[in-house]
Amino acid sequence: MSLRGILIISLGNPGAYRNTYHSAGHVVLEALQHQLGRDQPPFAPSRIGRQPTLASVGPRYALLQSPAVMNVSGPWVAKAYREHLAERGAAPSELGLVLVHDDLEEELGVVKIRDWKRSHRGHNGVKSVNGALQRPGGESRWARVSVGIGRPEGRDKAVVSDFVLSKISGQARGVLQGVGARGVCKALMELEGQWAGE
């Protein structure tokens, strides 16, 4: 079956923690919207998965910023995916799903395509999504795209937590909006080409 669209969901945190490193996926997704061109509308408030959500839904790509707290984002992602399938009248094999999230193990702005089944490597948002969204039968096309945020020198859990929940610096935001968004755009094109050929 041909690919009829791609749903791209970024993970992050709402409210006071929205502008933190843990929400790097949201920063990159906002910049990606501009790179996709005129067919991709600006982000606007919408109601998806029974929660207010920022969404940019175009003819080919639907970009959604998860409104859920990072560590429990799985149930919302699962609802959003099911809703999008129903709205498009698509089978799982006809709709690509790309999860965009921050990555402590990569340098700032480095983008990697991750197989859906690979380890979450301690990322509680990815772990939550894996637990809530079970891959359906057939040829579902799912992937994770991680965006590096760097890592503090200390490996202690408290130090890491403080880092991911700290405010993104202006310099880091610029890297995520530039290098990071371009990397995610390139990854998206690579995935789309791969899925279209299956």
CATH number at residue 135: 3.40.50.1470
Contact residues for 38 (Cβ-Cβ < 8 A; gap 6+):
none
Is the Cβ–Cβ distance between 125 and 67 less than 8 Å?
no
Give the total number of structural domains in the chain: 1
* Predicted local confidence at residue 21, as pLDDT: 95
What whole-number distance in Å separates Cα of residue 56 and Cα of residue 71?
A: 23
Q: Tell me the two tokens of residue 162.
A: 């403080």
Task: Give the pLDDT of residue 124.
Answer: 85
The CA distance from 90 to 95, in Å, is 7
Nearest partner of 165 among 36, 20, 45, judged by Cα: 20
CA–centroid distance for 52 within its chain: 17
pLDDT digits (tens), the chain, 198 positions: 588 899 999 999 999 999 999 999 999 999 999 999 889 999 999 999 999 999 999 999 999 999 999 999 999 999 999 999 999 999 888 999 999 999 998 999 999 999 877 766 668 888 999 889 876 555 678 999 999 999 887 778 888 889 999 999 999 999 999 999 999 999 999 999 988 876
pLDDT of residue 136: 59
Q: Based on the residue annotation, tell me whether 22 is a catalytic residue of this protein.
A: yes
pLDDT of residue 197: 72
**Domain housing 180:** 5-196
Task: Determine the pLDDT at residue 29.
Answer: 97
Kindly name the residue from 22, 26, 101, 123 that is annotated as catalytic: 22
